[in-house]
A and B are shown apart, each in its own frame.
Chain A
Amino acid sequence: MNSFKELLTIPRLKPIARREALQGLAFISIWFIGFFIFTLIPMLATLAFSFSNINLAQEEALRFVGFGNYQKMLSDSSLRNALGVTLKYALIALPVGLAVPFAVAVLLNNKHLRAKGFFRVMFYLPYVIPFVAGIFAWGGLLNPEQGWINQTLEALGVQNPPGWLNDPLWVYPSLVILGLWGIGSAVIIYLASLQGVPTELYDAAKVDGAGWWATMRNVTLPMMSPVIFYSLVLGIVGVFQYFLVPLVVTDGTGRPGGATMFFNLYMYKTFFTFQNMSYGAAQAWVLFILILVVTIFLFWSSKYWVYYAGETREG
């Protein structure tokens, strides 16, 4: 394995290679410039803000408050509730969000399935519909009084259909159902990955007498593990950033009973409703650190469950 020092050594390049490298850098520099101006610098600015007292609703001289905003979080019961809501939702949404698109991809990859193209388009189609429009449509469908879902259930004889988004018991399943609307992209990626699994491995498994489940467990899942890992990381980031759906379906009120007051929504309200910029900035940094810690843990754990073909591992 290369040492870190070797990695940092820039090899002498021939003129053509150097020109190509410079061209490559020129192209990628646009992204870097955008990243610095629109992401990194604002992030660092929020870090500075989080140690100050900027509150747009109050006239107060700018001053340094140390870790005051971070200490305030420890006694903020609303923030604790928001974090709890986010974690509860993550426990339901993440497994479903990983399993359902995977299952759909496996179905779409089945050699016995007819009209594969049609089904793939059908599963992908909702993804191209503007997400907010989808949320509004689902909000209407899940309306406990006038929504089609409950009207259908009542027509089928269900006496007390769920309150969906207005019921603390049903609100998370409702949000999960609503989220499944946009699985088309994940399905396509899983599908591409499934089709990339070498057929020789399946043939070998068949020769060894492996059934469907054994093949899935010993061939498909290990070969798919990098994509599952990728989905898991982005899924966790997404869960922590979950915002748009509760904002739209509950007008940001957190109803029912605070069950949809997610961390990110609370942060948004701190920033833009309460106009407490410094406290919002501190929350943003706590959120960032939480996501970072979880992501690092996932990367660390990946050596135990993610299989990269061709990778040699140290003993």
Chain B
Amino acid sequence: MKISFRWTLIPALALLLVFAACAAPATPAPQPTAVPAQPTAAPAQPTEAPAQPTAAPAQPTEAPAQPTTAPEATVAPTATALPTAAAGRTQIRWFVGLGTGTDPAQVTVQQEMVDKFNASQDKIQLVLEVVAYDAARDALATQIASGNPPDIVGPVGVSGAEAFHGQWLDLAPLIEKNNYDLTQYDKGAVDFYKVGGEGQIGIPFAIFPSAVFYQRDMFDEADLNYPPHKYGEKYKWKDGTEEEWTYDTLRKLALLLTVDKNNKDANDAAFDTKNIVQYGYEPQYQDLRAVGSYFGAGSFVAADEKTAQIPPQWADAWKWVYDGVWKEHFIANGPTRESQEFGQGNPFNSGKVATALTHLWYTCCVTDAGGNWDVAVAPSYKGKTTANFNADTFRILKASKHPDEAFTVLTYLLGDASLDLLKIYGGMPARTADQKAFFDSLNETWKQKVDWQVFVDGIAYADNPSFEGYMPNYNESFDLANVFLNKLYTTDGLDMDKEIAQFQKDLQAVFDKKATP
């Protein structure tokens, strides 16, 4: 049979060209505007906020050179070749990256803790694996799926851990076997990790209560009293009148503290919304659920663990923020908060925002905000105060091949190594006896006499259930919530009731999705 050369060549050439184009995106070929000039494989993703309760923003980092011959920490987008286990020792791998812990300075201290542990005994060889935050979920998921999981993961918050729902080891049998003393922690903090159906999947380590950060100078300039430092206290206006410390009071303050380039505040009829130079309020690094939970604890999923719901107080919180952005202009909108002038996603740190509701770990990221900020208590909503709560700890994977040895390492991290680690993570010790030393160390950094007691008092107002708790199809649901929050910050003129109803419908669709056919 005669085969036409052309008809053979056309598809062959087409196939080759497609292969070549797909394989080499960085080709210096003529590029119409659509052609990306860079390889498209998983670039570092700029994030508006740390998605996890972390003590520091996730940053791709490199491992510092270690002075010893011990296994070196690595920071890589994927797992790197591991050192061979030392003779006679069981190798335990400690995976860092789902939360804080990837900063070079943190890696150095973590490696020091590993070296100390390895020098202290001859049964276990602890190996530190640090993966850049943006790649950590994928790296861990891949390691688990390929049957090569690490033993210990952390520090990791609730949200980061929920991405691996059902895969954490119940520590209760190991706690009992080793007579580990849980009374050194507050019972509430221990129970925080007691999850129905899964057991005791964590032991308290670092907690991050929330509070309102505020700029004293801006309040002074506007001739306003500072917000209250004690729960239950009222706000005192300069004329002597007092008012309940609620979100409405915060709104009034924020309007007075929002200033345009002509120095007019947001209450002024001549206020120029196009040229705002200072904003009154910022829900700093708070995701959609966190924003909602300050108005009252809740969850996206009903008790049946299947039905999507929007707690009414969360809907109120979103509307309050949305109006603050688009109608009253005391919160920066999406493009503004992303601009360099307003901190590229960290507006309070730009020094141009008067108040920000966020967690204790935010001390990581406030170095450019000037040295005269302080903290006040979270406001109440409808008579109830909720100061939501982040908590990080180390967890052991169910898939760990050496749970006993992993528990030994876990008790070391929560014990002898804990103070050094908490210091670098910026975490408040869950162990009450250690809390004073922690705040003393913070005072060395922040010399303006911050009222840290506000955070300690805030523990009593933690959200329960945690806003970060389980929801079906977690990763996709979490992504949908992020997209919705982004929409609120970037789109003017939304009918919020309609949007919220649609969001609930979309969330239900994601909950109902079968991950695999």
Contact = CB atoms under 8 A, between A and B. Distances in A.
B491 A292 contact: no
B31 A97 contact: yes
A187 B33 CA distance: 12
B42 A93 contact: no
Nearest to A163: B335
A51 to B, nearest CB: 10
Nearest to B8: A4
Contacts of B141: 56-57, 275
Nearest to B15: A292
B486 interface: yes
A65 B517 contact: yes
Given A131-B36, A231-B30, A264-B40, A251 B45 contact: yes
A298 B334 CA distance: 42
A31 B23 CA distance: 11
A55 B167 contact: no
A304 to B, nearest CB: 13
B453 interface: no
Contacts of A90: 34
Interface string B506-517: 000000000111
A227 B30 CA distance: 9
B444 interface: no
Nearest to B30: A186
B273 to A, nearest CB: 10
Interface string B313-357: 000000000000000000001111011111000000000000000
B384 interface: no
Interface stretch (B65-73, B187-195, B472-480): B472-480
B18 A255 contact: no
A84 interface: no
A251 B37 contact: no
Interface in B391-445: none
Interface in A235-264: 235, 237-239, 241-245, 247-248, 250-257, 264
B105 interface: no
B59 interface: no
Interface of B: 2-3, 5-6, 8, 10-11, 13-15, 17-19, 21-23, 25, 27-38, 40, 42-43, 45-48, 137-138, 141-142, 144-145, 163-164, 166-167, 274, 333-336, 338-342, 473-476, 479, 482-483, 486-487, 490-491, 515-517
15 contacts: A1-B5, A38-B23, A39-B19, A56-B145, A60-B516, A97-B32, A166-B335, A179-B33, A186-B31, A235-B32, A239-B35, A251-B486, A252-B45, A255-B486, A275-B141
Nearest first, the 5 A-B pairs at minimum CB distance are A97-B32, A68-B517, A179-B33, A238-B35, A186-B30
